[in-house]
Structure 1
Amino acid sequence: MKLNLQEIPRVKTITKEDFIKNYFKPQKPVVIERFIEDWPAYNKWSLEYMKEVAGDKEVPLYDDRPVDYKDGFNEPHAKMKMAEYVDLLKREPTKYRIFLWNILKEVPSLQDDFSYPDFGLKLMKSLPMLFFGGTNSHTFMHYDIDLANIFHFHFEGKKQCILFDQKQNDFLYKIPHSLIVREDIDFSNPDFEKWPALQKAKGYITNLEHGNILYMPEGYWHYMKYLTPGFSMSLRAIARNPKNFGKAVYNLFVMRHYDNLMRRMKGQKWIDWKNEQAILRTHRKNKIF
């Protein structure tokens, strides 16, 4: 058995009006295949180019180890010079990924290679973030703390993306007081005997290639797996739905600080309790005993 996933619709290019009407208003994902071919980044951006312009920068690296109570919020697992990291990506599969790397801050010249597309949403210009990964490295299934509308631009290689909307929360083994699901679920090949509720979840899947844009609506869960070494840039627009905006404010100003406080007070017991609750609550809601 496989997850219940439908292919994300794809268009070659799109007008602002069509995007708002067909994807933003109904909050449906879409892949736009050829929108950025006039950007300098379309021809220039590659792993080798990033090595050239940012090789001496120290970058934060993350792998797929489970959350530890001693880890701070988004604290990296290792650091490396960008040149060494690109060499590693090209040499062999690695679990190390770069996550939320602010290119404006680190290499200001890169902002000359792209523009902020007008999709009818106000993009946050201070927050273009880059993400890198090696063959078979992946992110945990998660949603972003601010429940933003995300435009994810992919460069070099191939990347698989699996998405779920917030209506699927009851089936995903969501960790309480958190933005992730159980980290031991392999979304590219899930064990339904261990995670039976996943069979009820309805989601989306696509593979991104160089120059593709994936639009992820507000609060969508996403799992990203690099099929080959590559990198992506995300641009975001704040949540427009009042309920989602409220959740974002709660996550940023209450949930995150509460979780950090409990980690400090209870240590690993807090993490273990949350992991256990993810199973108990999901199975209770789905009457799985």
Structure 2
Amino acid sequence: MIEVAGLTKTYGSKRAVDDISFTAPAGSVTGFLGPNGAGKSTTMRMIMGLDRPDAGTATIDGKPLTAHVAPMRTVGALLEAKSVTPGRTARNHLRILAATHGISPKRVDEVIQMTGLDTVAKKRVKGFSLGMGQRLGIATAMLGDPSTLIMDEPVNGLDPDGVLWVRNLARHFASEGRTVLLSSHLMSEVQLTADRVVVIGRGKILAQGTIADFTAQAASGSVTVNTSDDAHLARLVAAEGGQATSTSEALVVDGLEPARIAQLAVGAGLDLHELVKTNATLEEAYLSLTADAVEYHAAEKEGALQ
């Protein structure tokens, strides 16, 4: 489990992380989301003990990472996939790390196979593509068979098969009772992978909780209905103070809850074929929440960057 309490970090006049607290529980995948410059990477570096906080604490399984006897067996991290000596081969890079942490050569072979690096293990890292660099970074994170996995943009540069592989890896890792914290700008992928989300903006926590709760809060409240007589139901809805809009396939109702709509339909003797409350996607919920927390906005007018 990762526990962050009152974590704060300032660089010069900029408060990069501002008194944040959250938990990434064991046995689940927690998505760590936020716009560029929100403080995600700084937070991850403080959890890893790479940056010292001005205030607050970040613990893994009850204590700071630096207090663990075998940090690499406690946490595997993918923060900078290209932080590898370019002249080394992938296998040698992993072997050197393994030797410094008492990890067997057999484990090196296991993570090479696990991450699909078999055919390039003897090649120098400087010739790696972005995707292969990501795979090597993940192999490095997995080397100590850790209880916690922290990954910053793990699918960056990966092809669809690689993206699916990372998703399955994270889900399997969590299913074994381990902790996964990952950041990504691919909202659709986070929605498929994570159980929970922590959203940060301008250094502050904006929201945290399960994905279901997070998206439900951003739902429009509209209900899609399909009956044997949508026109009749629309009149009943209007009489109740709701608003019904006809589409080519169904009726979209605002202002009434699904239970009341069902009562109206059944009470009028209508056959009810569909009754679905519209939920927001993770991307819609995220964009709505972070609209005022984006530091770097794209130019809206053509020619604004000229």
Please state which band the TM-score falls in when normalised by the shorter chain. under 0.3
Instruction: Please identify the structure whose Cα radius of gyration is greater.
Output: 2
Which one scores higher on RCO, CA 8 angstroms, separation ≥ 6?
Answer: 1
- TM-score, normalised to structure 1, is 0.27
- TM-score, normalised to structure 2, is 0.26
